[in-house]
Structure 1
Amino acid sequence: MNVSRFGATCGVILALAMLSLASPSLAQQKTAPAPAAQTPAASQPTVQAPAAPAVQAPAPPAAAQPAPASPALESATSLANSGSRPLKAEAAALRELSPWSMFLSADVLVKAVMIGLAFASLLTWTIFIAKMIELAVARRKLKTALDKISDSRSLAEAQFELGAKRGVLSSFLAAAMREARLSAGISSDTGIKERAASSFAEIMRAEARRIRLGMGLLATIGATSPFVGLFGTVWGIMNSFIGISKAQTTNLAVVAPGIAEALLATAIGLVAAIPAVIIYNHFARVTKTYLELVSRASGAAGRLLSRDLDRTHVSSGTHSRAAE
């Protein structure tokens, strides 16, 4: 029994050894047909070679396809685009914040203030041009008239020299002659001269009022325009704060336009006020110079009246002595 078991065991071991030796050969037999199957495929390109270019010709070359962008390049491009957008927005905001656009987008009351100040500025420059022409013409005419009567010996001769021209000097001469005619037969020369001087003073005051016409308006514009512009600014800032509270943001893009529109009213007020003050001061000096010429004309008429009175007394004394 032991011998038979030993023999059976040896037979089993021998069978396992044979199977282990046969398994590599079986694996090689299974893998060997694959190269054999590929050999015909390797030999087929000789037959299909002419057809390969015709099938693959429309396909674009691999080099023509765009290379995928790197992440660094994409991030740089996105940063550049994001940086250009604020610049474009800022440029658009600057274009929108022009004086005309701010005026159009302002409140109705602020618009009314701006229009009134613009009209006041236009009125200031109109008065400036008109008064410059008026003062230049009046000063030239008065100087010419004074030169004409500088050698006159009587009121009648002076009126003859001036002719039919109207002016302040003609008014002085006419007032002196009227007073001399109305005071005929009165021996008091002092009273005649006082009454003539009173008439001259009235003429001078009337001429001063005429030549200063419009200067009061210049003074009013120069004094009130800054305050009117400030009123428009305060009103505009109030509306801006109301808009900020409704928007619930303090972003500069929201706050700046309203405040700029409000400050535009103050700017226009200063534009109207500063030239008005300068022009008023200029006309105050020029008017003073012209009124000095008017005073000279009054003195010339008074001297001619005094000569006529003295000449009348001399002639009356001569006649009285001749009668005796």
Structure 2
Amino acid sequence: MSVANVEMASSAMSPVALFLQADIVVKAVMIGLLLASLWTWAIIIGHWLKVRRLSAGSETFERDFWKADDIDRFYDQRGKEDVPSAKVFAAGLTEWRRSTAGARVDREGTRARLAVAMHAAVGAEVDRIASRLNILATVGSVAPFVGLFGTVWGIMRSFTAIAGANNTSLAVVAPGIAEALFATALGLFAAIPAVIAYNRMTYGVNRIEARLQRFADGFHGTLSRELDQEG
């Protein structure tokens, strides 16, 4: 085979050429997988930036909280910050104020309500942080099968071309097979980063949840000791 023929064959097998040669069904599959891949990377980058900001904010908030001498004054100054630890703190202190507003304070009931309020706040913050991670799980599980559908369709098209041309040469079979394999490659290209990112981000969310729960437990202990002192 001459150099010119080799270059022509290589250009015919380039990703752009494979896309242009594909029929409408395989093109739709390829476009869908490319969009899914772009969406996946947008979620990955956005989530990483969000977690980095919230983690740094929570770390600073918790450090300053444990150094504070007056909880009420600290709440007035920092209680409305948009960080997970501040949300848990605000939920606990709000419930504390409601439960201790009367003349008679039910200690055990107050402790239980504080635990429920802060546990609910932790859950709400974890849900907020983990939003859209289910999309990564969906892309990671579905994209390979979508690519496989494109593969099957491309192979069927190749068999149809063979039957129509009554020719089993590689020149007849290769284009459809290449399109089919390219659809599979795009499916994996979209799925692999989504699966890796989902697993890593889920682990990160679990760590944040554990940290928030530790903060909630510590704050609950502080308020519980305050109840004992009031009694």
Provide TM-score, normalisation by structure 1. Answer: 0.66
Following superposition of structure 1 onto structure 2, how do residues 189-208 of structure 1 map, counting pairs within 5 Å?
189-208=107-126
Q: Show CA shifts across 1:200-255 (max 9, x none).
A: 11111111111111110000000111000000110011011101111111111111
SS for the counterpart of 1:226 is helix
Matching residue within 141, 144, 149 for 1:223: 141
Following superposition of structure 1 onto structure 2, how do residues 8-23 of structure 1 map, counting pairs within 5 Å?
none
Aligned CA distance change for structure 1 residues 178 and 185 (closer, same or farther; 3 Å): farther
Following superposition of structure 1 onto structure 2, how do residues 1-324 of structure 1 map, counting pairs within 5 Å?
84=2, 88-153=4-69, 155-160=71-76, 162=78, 164-183=80-99, 184-313=102-231
2:107–2:227 Cα contact (<8 Å) kept = yes
SS for the counterpart of 1:264 is helix
Aligned CA distance change for structure 1 residues 190 and 163 (closer, same or farther; 3 Å): closer
Deviation (angstroms), 1:161: 5.6
1:106–1:261 Cα contact (<8 Å) kept = yes
Deviation (angstroms), 1:285: 1.6
Q: Percent identity?
A: 40
Q: Show CA shifts across 1:40-99 (max 9, x none).
A: xxxxxxxxxxxxxxxxxxxxxxxxxxxxxxxxxxxxxxxxxxx75xx5434322222211
How far apart are the structure 2 equivalents of 1:169 and 1:103? 49
1:154–1:304 Cα contact (<8 Å) kept = no
Deviation (angstroms), 1:167: 2.9
How far apart are the structure 1 equivalents of 2:84 and 2:179? 51
Deviation (angstroms), 1:179: 2.3
How far apart are the structure 2 equivalents of 1:187 and 1:131? 43
- 1:210 partner letter: R
Provide TM-score, normalisation by structure 2. Answer: 0.92
> Structure 1: where are the runs of 5+ without partners?
1-82, 314-324
> Structure 2: where are the runs of 5+ without partners?
none
How far apart are the structure 2 equivalents of 1:180 and 1:173? 10
SS for the counterpart of 1:249 is coil
